[in-house]
Amino acid sequence: MTKKEKAVKIMAILDKIYPKTPIPLKHKQNNVFSFLVAVLLSARATDVSVNKVTPALFKLADTPEKMQHVPVESIRKIIKPVGLSPTKAKNIKALSQILVKKFKGQIPSNFSDLEALPGVGHKTASVVMSQAFKVPAMPVDTHIHRLAYRWGLSNGKSVVQTERDLKKCFPKEKWNKLHLQIIFFGREYCPARNHDMHACPICSEFGRKSLLN
């Protein structure tokens, strides 16, 4: 079975299980700044931990204009539970200042400007571009990287390679939804540890030999 044939089956299964893909990170509706900050906070952290701190953070400041005036230590105290809080707090403050000074408080809707912001790497920029601006992107987190290798869609050597391989396997118009579907599936059915291949809707469909080919 080719990678593209696998991809067709995978899309069908994911669409059946997850016809809708709500964004799991809590942020203010129609507020791209709050979404950007939530995604930044989610690096090396769980969505659950991020969602516990964002309501208090955005009550304090939900725009770059407001956030630029908040002391770094005040930000750090609120976001401490997510981990890496000293660095993330500095980045949130710094990017807020840049957004006000360079972009008049607006979030840039292109990869180069987003990736130039403090604490915003390619994955974070891809999530914002795909979910906030609806630009086709395939952000690769640990779940997607792991499952792409497990399903035989990529060699697992790097997230850069995984992103390239997945973009070749799946239609461009499906990328944004697939990003969330695969994350949800990895958490619910296809975990890294204690995975029951026979109970997994996708792995059981292909079998171990087919998955690795």
Q: What are phi and psi of 184, to 5 degrees?
A: -60, -45
Active site residue 167: no
Query: What would the pLDDT profile of 34-72 be if each residue is shown by its tens digit?
Result: 999 999 999 989 999 999 999 999 999 999 999 999 999
User: Which pair of structure tokens corresponds to residue 115?
Assistant: 């990736």
Q: Is 198 a domain residue? A: yes
Query: What would the pLDDT profile of 70-98 be if each residue is shown by its tens digit?
Result: 999 999 999 999 989 999 999 999 999 99
Let me know whether 78 and 14 are in one domain.
no
Among 76, 107, 131, give the residue marking a domain's end.
Answer: 131
Q: Round the CA-based radius of gyration of the chain to a whole number and report it.
A: 18
What pTM value is reported for the model? 0.89
Interval 143-150 mean pLDDT: 93
Number of domain units in the chain: 2
Which domain does 145 fall in, by range?
3-21+138-212
Query: What would the pLDDT profile of 7-20 be if each residue is shown by its tens digit?
Result: 999 999 999 999 99
Helix, strand or coil, per DSSP, at residue 189: coil
Q: How many whole angstroms separate alpha carbon 117 and alpha carbon 114? A: 6
Among 101, 131, 161, give the residue marking a domain's end.
Answer: 131
Query: What would the pLDDT profile of 176-186 be if each residue is shown by its tens digit?
Result: 999 999 999 99
Q: How many whole angstroms separate alpha carbon 113 and alpha carbon 50? A: 24
Let me know whether 123 and 40 are in one domain.
yes
Residue among 109, 140, 133, 136 nearest 43 (CA): 140
Q: How many whole angstroms separate alpha carbon 44 and alpha carbon 183? A: 15
Catalytic residue among 3, 88, 93, 123: 123
pLDDT of amino acid 207: 63
Provide the pLDDT confidence category of residue 157 given band limits of 50, 70 and 90: confident
Active site residue 113: no
Cα–Cα distances in angstroms (integers) from residue 171 to residues 118, 131, 161, 165, 174, in the given order: 31, 17, 17, 12, 5
Cβ proximity of 91 and 119 under 8 Å: yes
Catalytic residue among 15, 47, 113, 141: 141
